[in-house]
Amino acid sequence: MKTLRLNSRDRDTLVRCQLFQGVRPDTVNRLLDGAHVSSHESGDILFREGEAIDSLMIVLNGLVRVYRSGREGREADLGVFSAGDVFGECAILSQERIAGAHGQALEPSLIAHIDMHRARQLLAEDTSFGSAVMGLLCRRLHDLQNSLADDRLLTAHQRVAHYLLRHCPEGDGPVSFRLPFQKSVLAGKLGLAPEALSRAFSHLRQRGVVVRGRVIEVHDKTALREA
Amino acid sequence: MKTLRLNSRDRDTLVRCQLFQGVRPDTVNRLLDGAHVSSHESGDILFREGEAIDSLMIVLNGLVRVYRSGREGREADLGVFSAGDVFGECAILSQERIAGAHGQALEPSLIAHIDMHRARQLLAEDTSFGSAVMGLLCRRLHDLQNSLADDRLLTAHQRVAHYLLRHCPEGDGPVSFRLPFQKSVLAGKLGLAPEALSRAFSHLRQRGVVVRGRVIEVHDKTALREA
DNA sequence: CGCATCTTTGAGGAGTCTCAAGAGAGGTGG
DNA sequence: CCACCTCTCTTGAGACTCCTCAAAGATGCG
């Protein structure tokens, strides 16, 4: 891990990230003035469950997963974050600033760190920042509710079909797009073993889904919806 | 469903609920001044997924579950709330005030409703209320993360053992306590069919768990932890 | 005491995981 | 440009978990 200063390009990425939309510009500036950047190799552990966390983290580049580990090396992904996504926010807001899960880089990644004390202080001064954080938490909550409901209501095939429908481009005809990460990462995100994802893809072939590497073609969305 | 005024006893319950701890008293009063109470039979639907929601809800009495429904009548519980618990908060904070799930009373219940407009207005005026709401969201997020991780990492037997350990009284020796709701509700909360919960209980008998109606006796916590 | 509801138990089956091996993709160096 | 290597992905087989359906046994309420 290397620590760097925030350059103007990174700053640009941050200013445009969803967390800061609607926040007073001077608040954003004060948040970013205390920020620094860390650089990680693929596979690096960013933090461990139970460790103290002292910054709000935003992905500038790369990919991060947040996960819990269970017995015998089993792991469960709680979230996967890419450029512009915020993570580690919970540790900041609850009294104990303790990570509830592990964080790991899945690709070479650049992470911006915003000082927690400054963030807390600004929360108390500027309600526009407060609303932005609440918005973030609500979105996160909604994503988790979706994951939990999908896990409990859908089969593996259905979860994959559901994911494809939500992530493929608009439009009626056949569409094609690229997965934003490795299939094994998608499998983890969906709560599946990689083998199960693979089997789901080959099952969905008969519903007009063609997979070539990371490129997915969906020929008939209607058929997918009925999977 | 009947609509009532907030009486002084209900007001008392609300003032002591976790959401309002640390919030300026005049803010709490302004929130409660616009509140009303609704009364529901067991089984009543409080709201449906996709409906607009215009109030923050707090359980005064009874039991409420929030759930999604899938194909063929399947349902997945996202949360179970009892006296003092807040729900429906997400609809208030995100721009679209739409419920992300269904809400149902599981017992005869009294629900306090706090006007959404007033709550939003006070969020913009009083950061102490903002922190309280963020605290609530973080706790909720953490609960959901726990549910998701438990679903993915533990077997049915382990989930039940885990629940018992987290909800039984402190102390080293044998302890006994009462489930706060029907077993079928617990099953839903843990993402299990009622039959699976029942089987888990009878499996855990050999680990020193005795079940008589809603009363649970745990004779050896250590044995449970290793389940 | 009787009825409705909730819970337990049994049997069978669908779905997903694990392990193991083979196929494919992507990158590197000759 | 091709051969090679590594890593990822796919496929197969078997085991296990949990669900579903059905019926019997508790529990609690009027």
pLDDT given at position A68: 95
Question: Which pTM was predicted?
Answer: 0.91
CB-CB neighbors (< 8 A) of B125 in chain A: 127
pLDDT tier, A26 (very low <50, low <70, confident <90, very high otherwise) = very high
pLDDT given at position A76: 95
CB-CB neighbors (< 8 A) of A149 in chain B: 68, 70, 76, 78, 101
The token pair at A162 is: 């559901």
What's the angle, vertex CA B136, arms to CA B135 and CA B142, rounded to 5? 90
Q: Is B98 on the interface with A (CB under 8 A)?
A: no
* Chain A / chain B CB contacts < 8 angstroms: 120
Which nucleotide is nearest to B196 if distance is taken from CA to C1'?
D18
Dump pLDDT digits (tens) for B51-97: 999 899 999 999 999 999 988 889 999 999 999 999 988 777 777 78
Dump pLDDT digits (tens) for B178-200: 999 999 999 999 999 999 999 99
Higher-scoring residue by pLDDT: A90, B206: B206
Average pLDDT of B141-167? Answer: 95
pLDDT given at position B227: 74
Question: How far: A57 CA to C4 C1' (Å)?
Answer: 56
What's the angle, vertex CA B20, arms to CA B19 and CA B22, rounded to 5? 115
Q: Which of B58, B123, B103, B49 is nearest to B85 (CA)?
A: B58
Which nucleotide is nearest to A73 if distance is taken from CA to C1'?
C18
Instruction: Note the helical H segments in chain A.
Output: 8-15, 25-33, 89-93, 116-125, 127-153, 156-167, 183-189, 194-204, 221-225
The token pair at B174 is: 């044998």
Q: Is B165 on the interface with A (CB under 8 A)?
A: no
Average pLDDT of A108-122? Answer: 92
How buried is residue A91: exposed, middle or buried, by Cβ count under 10 Å (0-12/13-18/19+)?
buried
Separation between Cα atoms, residue A13 and residue B220, nearest integer Å: 54
pLDDT given at position B170: 86
Separation between Cα atoms, residue A206 and residue A198, nearest integer Å: 14
